[in-house]
């Protein structure tokens, strides 16, 4: 079997992460529901995490995994604050999309 | 075998990611996000980052997606969104061009640099198991950053409570009365 002999190298993981980042960026630009846009940001963060871990494994350096740990903490804090803002906006005007929120004034 | 794992997990990741951006219903998008996160966790296991794989499932798939679903249910925005409506007609094309451009440039740079990555054998990890090595790194080199994450989390929680707090009705009435008094004083 030729296929069984192929072992996925770091390059494979990097390309997967690049495609995931591209899908997340496209979704962020296309969708106008604030919640779904947030999910696309999560996709992009995960692509970056995958890149970090791939490099950490390739170079045998654990620092990359530490960076991923911090990214996860910051992502959790970001989601909490972001969803709080979305709740307070959508409570005031239900069904608002990202286009309706062009000004800071409530 | 490793290739099979990689291909299956990549299919999960990319299928879930496409599901997030094409599903009209936010609940389905959140569930597709779970699929993607599980795929990423499998890739972490394949890359021998066992602790991060567990954290990925617990924090992302467990906490963050549940928070998303909770907010969707709380706000009642789980009605399907009509994707046919396009306020800016060329937005979708521009978004596709930007997405493809970003992906293409990233892949081009990765392919150009693959020789450097392929040089030499992969360096062996330090010999400790993953969690021990990560803990040693986290609590020695990055201990200040680790302590500051606790500050960040406290600030985030306090800020969210303040943001989403409903103004009590009595307080609102008092504010309105003060406003009315001020405007009548300005008039007279």
pLDDT at B14 exceeding the cut of 90: yes
Kindly report the backbone phi and psi dihedral angles of residue A96, in degrees, each rounded to the nearest multiple of 5, phi listed first: -70, 140
| pLDDT at B68 > cutoff 80 | yes
Q: Which residues of B22-32 are buried (b: 16+ CB within 10 A; e: fewer)?
A: ebebbbebbbb
Tell me phi and psi for residue A58, to 5 degrees. Answer: -65, -40
Residues of B in contact with A72 (CB under 8 A): 52, 55-56, 59-60
pLDDT tens readout for residues B112-153: 888 877 766 666 655 668 888 889 989 999 999 999 999 999
pLDDT tens digits, one per residue of A15-35: 999 999 999 999 999 888 888
Shortest alpha-carbon distance between residue B114 and chain A (Å): 6
Q: Select the residue of B13, B72, B138 nearest A66 (Cβ to Cβ).
A: B138
| A75 contacts chain B (CB < 8 A) | yes
* Chain B residue nearest residue A43, CA to CA: B17
Q: pTM for the full model? A: 0.86
Asked if B13 lies within 8 A of A20 by C-beta distance, the reply is yes
Lowest pLDDT segment from B11-25, B27-41, B72-86? B72-86
- Which residues of A fall within a CB distance of 8 Å from B136? 62
* Mean pLDDT across B163-177: 73
Contact criterion met (CB < 8 Å) for A90 and B141:
no
Give the residue from chain A lying closest to B58, CA to CA.
A72
Please tell me the predicted confidence (pLDDT) of residue B89.
75
Band the pLDDT of B48: cuts 50, 70, 90.
confident
pLDDT digit string, tens, across residues A36-83: 999 999 999 999 999 999 999 888 888 999 999 999 999 999 999 999
Is residue B41 predicted with pLDDT exceeding 90?
yes
Choose between B3 and A99: higher pLDDT. Answer: B3
Interface confidence (ipTM) of the complex: 0.89
Q: How confident is the model at residue A6 (pLDDT cuts 50, 70, 90)?
A: confident
Percentage of residues of chain B with pLDDT beyond 70:
84
Which of A23, A61, A88 is opposite residue B163, by nearest beta carbon?
A: A88
Residue B127: CA count within 13 A, CB half-sphere: 0
- Select from B147, B133, B161, B30 the least CA-distant residue to A73: B147
Contacts of A95 in chain B (CB under 8 A): 77
pLDDT, residue B87, reads 67
Rounded CA separation B37/B26 (Å): 16
Q: How many Cα atoms are found within 13 Å in the side-chain-facing hemisphere of B84?
A: 0
- Closest to B67 in 3D by CA, of B179, B186, B164: B164
3-state secondary structure (DSSP) of residue B166: coil
| Chain B residues touching A21 at Cβ < 8 A | 102-103, 106
Does the CB of A65 have a partner CB in chain B at under 8 Å?
yes
Angstrom CA distances, B44 to A47, A56, B29, B115, stand at 12, 11, 23, 23
Count interface pairs A-B at CB distance under 8 A: 229
Residue A40: what pLDDT? 94
pLDDT of B42 strictly over 80: yes
């Amino acid at each position: 079997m030729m296929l069984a002999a192929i072992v996925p190298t770091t390059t494979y993981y990097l390309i997967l992460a690049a495609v995931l980042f591209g899908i997340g960026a496209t979704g962020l630009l296309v969708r106008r529901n604030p919640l779904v846009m947030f999910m696309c940001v999560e996709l992009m963060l995960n692509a970056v995490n995958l890149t970090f871990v791939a490099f950490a494994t390739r170079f045998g350096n654990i620092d990359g995994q530490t960076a991923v740990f911090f990214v996860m903490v910051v992502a959790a804090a970001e989601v909490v604050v972001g969803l709080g803002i979305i709740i307070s906006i959508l409570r005031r005007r239900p069904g608002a999309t990202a286009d309706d929120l062009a000004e800071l004034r409530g | 075998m490793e290739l099979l794992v990689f291909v299956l997990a990549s299919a999960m990741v990319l299928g879930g990611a496409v599901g997030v951006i094409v599903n009209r219903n936010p609940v389905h998008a959140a569930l597709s996000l779970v699929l993607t996160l599980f795929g990423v966790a499998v890739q972490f296991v394949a890359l021998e980052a066992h602790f991060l794989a567990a954290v990925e499932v617990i924090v992302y798939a467990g906490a963050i997606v549940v928070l998303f679903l909770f907010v969707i249910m709380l706000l009642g925005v789980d009605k399907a969104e009509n994707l046919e409506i396009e306020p800016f007609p060329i937005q979708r094309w521009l978004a596709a061009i930007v997405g493809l451009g970003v992906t293409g440039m990233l892949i081009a740079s990765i392919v150009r640099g693959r020789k450097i990555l392929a040089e030499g054998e992969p360096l062996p990890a330090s010999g400790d198991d993953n969690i021990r090595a990560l803990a040693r790194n986290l609590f020695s080199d990055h201990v200040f950053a680790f302590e500051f994450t606790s500050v960040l989390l406290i600030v985030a929680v306090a800020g969210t409570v303040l943001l989403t707090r409903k103004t009590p009705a009595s307080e609102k009435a008092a504010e309105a009365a003060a406003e009315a008094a001020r405007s009548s004083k300005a008039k007279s």
